[in-house]
Structure 1
């Protein structure tokens, strides 16, 4: 196995162009497990830990550009008020040691249906920034996943960043216009792969709804019918609780959007039921957040 360790982004892209079969490694929380269990033996490892721009985040207008090498712990500490849904998901990832090493870019790169970062990125309408020596392109995260552990990444491309609209204005000033929530069910309370997960974003300024479903389909997916229903059913000017019939129908539509299977972590029927419950709960929490801010 060959090992490459570029120190600049240009060097990293050049190395990937020269060795399209190379496996990128940053935190190593997925790659090293596969190597240790001999499930994968790539001919080239491309270590990106010295590429400083990958560990940076900054505003680009109202959008946050988060480098692919920013670890979960920094998303929690530095971006919790700007990207609350992603921060909530980050808090459920592994142990503190894993959160210090693991990255959203690595989560996207593995393209697992159970990736914890994927549902909040879907709900927020994020874009994935992909780069190669040929240039840069942006792919909506909803179009990024091509199948179980497969993505639209070309062989010579690397994930540079994710671009996500922050819930408040740059600097964190002003009243949040978006309420985000994330919920996950596992076989225990911590350090667990999701049986299923769900993320919700309610945008009061645009009167839109975003959703993300994890670990209940071949890829992370949105519940588009549920989004359209809820955007029309909510009284965006009201401070009253969401009517039970609206919450129930929203939960039903979310469960209907999933395509789960039976496996060692849970049955398809359980996953559908759990998603319906998570959808109703996160809706109540997110709506309470919005109405509290308007009070």
Structure 2
């Protein structure tokens, strides 16, 4: 009879410094906070970590703070708290957090874990791209900050190096209305067929976009961000402008056919979602409906 495999070493640091020292000494250890992605892979025998690093005892990773014009969110803050505590200042991110899994998953899952997994379909990624968030990464070598647009390097790949931990996400406070739209086969407990975030900045008169599940990495739509909006005469906003925005967003996507949807469907859905999202943020900002 074959003996059961031994459980992998399980490290439980009490603070960030100890966690970084343990990770430097055991670079094979996989950090775990909520475990909502990792443990699924373990249960399905898709991965077997050589060691695990439990981050749940590190208080600073499970706290957020007001940094003036931005919110610094510890990588271990669960989605439930983002919805409950940050919806007024980060409405796009809170809207995305509401769509993650079930209440149980939102209670455990974290934004840092979502980033570390680096899935193109991660719900938290589009709002971070739309608002120009920064990712703070630490190791025993020091701390560095990476713009979210430079964080993803490929499907489920990122700039994280061995021995590094995501410690926080720095998200600019909303300077105008924001939207997050997600297309799936049902309304809950679903991986996005595609998703889109739009952020309107009324102070700088700029538009930001973030696209999920429609490319090898989460994407922005630079040409859509540059669309000319009638800032000084908001009543001139019209359906043609919204539809052009939708076309530009769809053109920025790089989707594939897979079990959740075809590339053509994803482009079509993004165009519809983008036009709808732009209408909504414009109406919320100016109280004007689009004209034909």
Equivalent of 1:39, from 42, 46, 56? 46
SS at match of 2:10: strand
The aligned counterpart of 2:280 is: 285
Deviation, 1:166, is 0.8
Equivalent of 1:111, from 82, 104, 118? 118
The aligned counterpart of 2:138 is: 131
CA–CA separation in structure 1 for the residues paired with 2:159 and 2:189: 29
The aligned counterpart of 2:3 is: none
TM, length-normalised to structure 2 = 0.94
Whether the 8 Å contact between 1:241 and 1:288 is mirrored in structure 2 is no
CA–CA separation in structure 2 for the residues paired with 1:292 and 1:10: 50
Q: How many residues align?
A: 281
Superposed CA deviations along residues 201-248 of structure 1, whole A, max 9, x for unmatched, are 11011011110000000000000111012xxx2111334262112111
The aligned counterpart of 1:272 is: 267
Superposed CA deviations along residues 26-84 of structure 1, whole A, max 9, x for unmatched, are 00100110111110011110000000000111112211100000000000000000100
Matches within 5 A, 1:1-295: 1-167=8-174, 177-229=175-227, 233-240=228-235, 242-292=237-287
CA–CA separation in structure 1 for the residues paired with 2:148 and 2:180: 17
Whether the 8 Å contact between 1:28 and 1:101 is mirrored in structure 2 is yes
SS at match of 1:114: coil
Compare CA radii of gyration and give the structure with the larger one: 2
Whether the 8 Å contact between 1:71 and 1:104 is mirrored in structure 2 is yes
Unpaired runs of 5+ in structure 1?
Answer: 168-176
Unpaired runs of 5+ in structure 2?
Answer: 1-7
Whether the 8 Å contact between 2:230 and 2:236 is mirrored in structure 1 is no
TM, length-normalised to structure 1 = 0.94
CA–CA separation in structure 2 for the residues paired with 1:146 and 1:35: 24
Whether the 8 Å contact between 1:241 and 1:287 is mirrored in structure 2 is no
The aligned counterpart of 1:173 is: none
